[in-house]
Amino acid sequence: MRQETEKMVEIAKEAGKIAMKYWNELKEHHISTKEDGSILTIADTEVDAYIRKELEDAFPDHSVLSEESENTKTTEGVFIIDPIDGTKNFANGDSNFGISIGFVVNGKSEIGVVYAPAENNIYIGERGGSSYKNNIKIKVSEIDSLANAKLFIHEGRSLNTVNTHENLRTLFSKEHSNIVIEKVKGCASLDICRIADGTYDAFIHKGLSAWDIAAGMVILESAGGVACHFDGSIKNLFEKNIVTTNPKLKDKIVAITKDC
C-alpha cells in the first residue's frame, strides 16, 4: 500500500473506536439537527476532529475537506472525509454506517478507505491497483442484464431527490419485473462498496456530495466498476447525481436515467 493508504487505514480504524464508544448508546443531548434537516451527533463531531488532526499532522502539505468542517487551505492533494456516513442509521443503533476517507488529486480520487466499525468491514482501493474488503480482493459483478439485477436507489431526503428516485424505481420496475431495488440502506459510501464487491449491481442517486463518494468511487473503479452521471458522462466528484455499476450494465442503466 502507498504511504497515504496505510495512514488512512490506521486513522479510520482509530476513528472507528471513537464512533463505537457512542454507537447504540447515544443520549438525547448527543443529537442535534443541522440547517438542512439532517442529523448531527457528538460522534460525527469527535470523529471529524480526530481524523482532521491526524491527517493534517501526517500530511501538512495536503488539505482536508469534510462534511462537518470547513477546508482552510487549497492544495493539489486533498483528503475528503465523511466522519460518520449514515448518521441516521448510527443514531438509530443500526450497524450500517461507515467512516469514509478519500484522497483526491486534481479532482480525481486516488485512494479510498471506507470502514464499517460495527460490522468490522474495511474496504480499501488505490487507483492503478486493486480493491479489497478485509484484505480479500474484490471485483464488481459480471451481470449483463437488468432483468435480474440488484439495485440501490435510496428514498432520498430533499423533495426533488425523493420524486426523482420514486420515478426511477417505477421506470426500472416497468422495464424489468424481476429487478430487485433496495432503498433502505442509507449509507452511500458503503452502498458503493457493495457494488465494488459484487453484492449489488448498481447504485443510483440524484444528489450526494464529494464526501459521500470520494472514497467509494476509487474503490469501485479499482474493482473494475464505472461511475458516471445520469446522462452517461464521466462522474465529476463535485457535481450532483451518480450511477455506479459494472461496465456491462452502464449503457442499459443510462438509457433509463438520462431523462430523469
Q: Among the residues of the chain, which ranges form H helices?
A: 3-22, 42-58, 87-91, 159-175, 188-196, 210-222, 250-257
**Segments forming the whole domain that contains residue 215:** 146-257
- 176-195 pLDDT, tens digit each: 777 888 876 789 999 999 99
Letter for the amino acid at 243? V
Over residues 120-125, mean pLDDT: 98
Coil, helix or strand for 25? coil
Same domain? 67 vs 16: yes
- Full-model pTM: 0.93
CA dihedral 210, 124, 19, 245 (to 10 degrees): 50
Q: Looking at the predicted structure, is the pLDDT value of residue 36 above 80? A: no
CB 80 within 8 A of CB 102: yes
The yes-or-no verdict on residue 72 having pLDDT over 70 is: no
How many independent structural domains does the chain possess? Answer: 2
Burial class (CB in 10 A: 0-12, 13-18, 19+), 200: buried
- Residues 43 and 124 both lie in one domain: yes
Question: Does 9 share its domain with 130?
Answer: yes
Residues 248 and 153 grouped into a single domain = yes
Same domain, 88 and 209: no
CATH of the domain at 57: 3.30.540.10
151 and 253 in a single domain? The answer is yes
Q: CA 209 → CA 65, 119, 139, 144, 235, distances in Å?
A: 11, 24, 25, 29, 12
In angstroms, the CA 124 to CA 114 distance is 7
Of 119, 137, 155, at which residue does a domain stop? 137
Residues 13 and 123 in one domain: yes
At residue 68 the predicted structure's pLDDT band, cuts being 50, 70 and 90, is: confident
Same domain, 113 and 160: no
How far apart (Å, rounded) are the C-alpha atoms in residues 125 and 116? 15
